[in-house]
Amino acid sequence: MPASVSPENKAGTPVTPDLMHRLDRAFFERDPVDVAPQLLNKVLASADGRMGRIVEVEAYCGSRDPAAHSFRGKTRRNATMFGAPGHLYVYFTYGMHFCANAVCWDDEPGMGVLIRALEPVAGIERMREARGDIASLSLLCSGPGRLCQALGIDRKLDGADLVSGTHGIGLYDDGAEPPAEPASSERIGISRATEHAWRWFVAGSPHLSRKPSTRR
DNA sequence: GGTAAGATCAGC
DNA sequence: CTGATCTTACCA
């Protein structure tokens, strides 16, 4: 196990650098409802070695999803979502947070998967610094805004190609399978289209944005 | 041009 | 539960 993976992280699956490989572009050329659960246990990595395993995602389904930024069509803000699949859509929200999505599907543009939580697996000291030296590992990347802060994802990375990883952020498969039966729930923090169970997560992970038995 | 709401988070 | 903080989109 890498030295940067602390004992507190023992419940997780450390990355195996030799096995890390790119995803096929075709992986993203599907409906985000299919892509999202398949993204669980994939590895998001910044250029400087900060890495986290995806433990929570949500699908946003464009013109058939009133909760999606892209619901009403292309704008300056969401333009990346209408671009090529496999790229990163980063947006700024609530006056202080960034959130990151993997752009999906090629039949109809404007779809994506929001990455909501990571299990930190490498570069953890850098993540801590970026997060203001937060102590708790389970609060380091447990939310869409937190993980962006931890990995240094901001508007400069909007449009970055996650497949090639050449723009400072990449998404990799290290051989870890997604859960055979991922847990799902309603999406968090939205006020419209709440009827869909389009949030998927690794059951029991301590790194989720909502811990078990908390609800609001 | 004005404004309300927002795919959130930290602190009380 | 609330305040922070500011961009965007929508409406006039």
pTM (predicted TM-score): 0.93
**Strand B within 7 A of A214 CB:** no
Tell me the C-alpha distance between A28 and A11, whole Å: 29
Q: Which nucleotide is nearest to A100 (CA to C1')?
A: B7
H or E segment and range at residue A53: strand A51-61
* pLDDT, averaged in runs of 10, over chain A (216 residues): 42 76 97 98 97 98 97 96 98 98 95 98 97 96 98 98 97 96 96 96 97 60
Sign for the CA dihedral angle at A98, A47, A137, A131 comes to negative
Gyration radius of chain A's alpha carbons? 16
pLDDT of residue A213: 61
Q: For residue A207, say whether its CB is under 7 Å from any atom of strand B.
A: no
Question: pLDDT value at position A9?
Answer: 45
Q: Which strand B nucleotides have any atom less than 7 A from protein CB atoms?
A: 5-10
Distance of C1' in B8 from CA in A2, Å: 31
Q: How far is CA A9 from CA A4, A52, A64, in A?
A: 10, 11, 38
pLDDT on residue A16: 79
Instruction: Measure A94 CA to B5 C1' (Å).
Output: 9
Q: Which nucleotide is nearest to A97 (CA to C1')?
A: B8
The Å distance, CA of A143 to C1' of C8, is 22
Asked whether residue A209's C-beta has any atom of DNA/RNA strand C within 7 A, the reply is no
Which bases of chain C are under 7 A from a protein CB atom? 1, 4-10
A72 touches strand C (CB under 7 A): yes
**C-alpha to C-alpha distance for A117 and A56, rounded to whole angstroms:** 5
pLDDT reported for residue A211: 83
Residues in contact with A210: Cβ distance below 8 Å, sequence separation at least 6, in sequence order: A188
Give pLDDT, residue A4. Answer: 41
- Residue A38 CA, chain-centre distance (Å), reads 12
Distance from residue A67 (CA) to nucleotide B12 (C1'), in Å? 31
Shortest CA to C1' contact from A146: nucleotide: B9
Q: How many CB atoms neighbour CB A13 within 10 A?
A: 18
